Amino acid sequence: MKKTVSFAKNAANVFFHITTRCNLKCSHCYINYGQHGDKTLPLETVVSWLKLFYEPQKTANLVLLGGEPTLHPDLAAIVEAAGQTGYGSVTIDTNGYLFYDILDKVSPGQVDYLSFSLDGATEATNDRIRGKGCYEACTQGIRRAVEKGFSVSLIYTVSRENLHELADMPSLLKDLGVHRFFIQVIGIRGKSAESGKDDLQLTRRQWEDNVFPVAEKVAESGITVTYPKVFLEPGEVFECGGNVAENYFIFPNGRVYRCPLCEDFPVHSMEIKDGRLQSTPKINEADLFALDIPEGCVMNKLVQGGNISYGKDGKPVCKIACCLLKEEIPAS
């Protein structure tokens, strides 16, 4: 049975890009060097920034990402420091290449999930999007991680380029031994926002006809599935995560965003300067969170409005949910 995962009131989710360096050049990569910097943060800086976002009275969930975070030579020490700081959960998002023998340097007890990105059920489709050799590296990485006792999740970013293979994922997930499945929807940002790529988004029909049945099938096979809500039903209340949740997206140049859809623009509402977390001057993303429009999410309307449809009366057929709002089907 699917359920909407409400925004947690007493939790902070910290998405920490410890480097923007990567060995791949995925066609939908959202890393934007001009806006996020091209640095790999030194261990000492990562450790001190981790402390800036930790509040003992809240559950703090940490996602370490990049670029490719396993390219950071001190990733194991960062995981250790996160645990010592008090983070309640640590996830590492990886493209699967698992540099610096990371599986031998961290233990399943230190990491809640190793989260692998795969964007096709076949080598042909995945490697067209993520690069030659990536399917093999990623699936091998998943098998090795499962063998070593790690909890493994898989993220499949759905676009019109790989929608046709989503239905083949349930059997692949089982074969790989994956424990959780995240279906993500393509965001029109970073490379996807470059000209000529505005036809990647799915319509509501495509989303519902393809994602829901696959999610149910995966859950029936014993794997919990999470995917973004995207389209709100009539009567469902729209909430902007920037107003009602605590999510921080930290980049190596010190910018801290509350909204991922803002990350292509210098509208971050916070930044780390001289080791301190500071608010940025207006106008910034927080001013957008306050706007109330019939389409729901303001940033969706501004940067990726292709998923909005309008009725004959000129009104949107449905509101677009906050991109941070998820729906989940527990394993059955």
Bridge partners (DSSP) of residue 183 are: 156
Q: Which of 256, 297, 308, 318 binds ligand SF4 (CB under 6 A)?
A: 297
Q: Which is nearer to ligand SF4, 130 or 180 (CB)?
A: 130
Span from 161-169, 192-200, 263-271, 298-306 in contact with ligand SF4 (CB under 6 A) = 298-306
Which helix (H) or strand (E) element contains residue 64? Answer: strand 59-65
Stretch that binds ligand SF4, among 5-13, 161-169, 265-273, 296-304 (CB under 6 A): 296-304
Applying CB under 6 A, among 87, 113, 207, 289 the residue interacting with ligand SF4 is 289
Q: Which stretch, 24-32, 39-47, 72-80, 136-144, contacts ligand SF4 (CB under 6 A)?
A: 24-32
Backbone φ and ψ for 10, nearest 5 degrees, come out as -120, 40
Please identify which residue in 62, 75, 324, 329 interacts with ligand SF4, judged by CB under 6 A. 324
In terms of phi and psi (left: phi > 0; alpha: psi -120 to 50; beta: otherwise), the region of 129 is alpha
Stretch that binds ligand SF4, among 181-189, 196-204, 239-247, 248-256 (CB under 6 A): 239-247
* Rounded CA separation 17/253 (Å): 10
Cβ at position 65, least distance to ligand SF4 in Å: 8
Smallest separation (angstroms) from ligand SF4 to the CB of 228:
10
List, in sequence order, every residue forming a beta bridge with 60; answer none if it has no partner: 12
What value does the CA radius of gyration of the chain take, rounded to a whole number of Å?
A: 19
Angle between helices 169-176 and 134-147 (to 10 degrees): 50
Helix, strand or coil for residue 100?
Answer: helix
Task: Name the residue nearer to ligand SF4 (CB basis): 170 or 190.
Answer: 190
Contact (CB, 8 A) for 215 and 225: yes
**Cα 300 from chain centroid (whole Å):** 16
CA distance 143 to 146: 5
C-alpha–C-alpha distance, residues 270 and 250, integer Å: 9
241 binds ligand SF4 (CB under 6 A): yes
Separation CA 254–CA 259 (nearest Å): 15
Q: Is 68 in the site for ligand SF4 (CB under 6 A)?
A: yes
**Which region among 4-12, 46-54, 240-248, 305-313 touches ligand SF4 (by CB under 6 A)?**
240-248
The binder of ligand SF4 chosen from 118, 183, 230, 299 (CB under 6 A): 299
DSSP 198-233: TT-PPPHHHHHHHHHHHHHHHHHTT-EEEEE--BPP
Candidate list 25, 276, 282, 312; residue touching ligand SF4; CB under 6 A: 25
- Alpha carbon distance 201, 298 (integer Å): 17
**22 scored as a contact of ligand SF4 (CB under 6 A):** yes
Q: Is 261 in the site for ligand SF4 (CB under 6 A)?
A: yes
Residue 210 CA to residue 208 CA, distance in Å, equals 6
- In the stretch 187-226, what mask flags binding to ligand SF4 with x, by CB under 6 A? ----------------------------------------
Q: Measured from the CB of residue 148, what is the shortest distance to ligand SF4 in angstroms?
A: 22
Residue 286 touches ligand SF4, criterion: CB under 6 A: no
Q: Does 298 bind ligand SF4 (CB under 6 A)?
A: yes
Stretch that binds ligand SF4, among 81-89, 177-185, 308-316, 319-327 (CB under 6 A): 319-327
Whether the CB-CB separation of 154 and 182 falls below 8 Å is answered with yes
Binding site for ligand SF4 (CB under 6 A): 22, 24-26, 29, 31, 66-68, 95, 240-242, 259, 261, 288-289, 297-300, 322-324
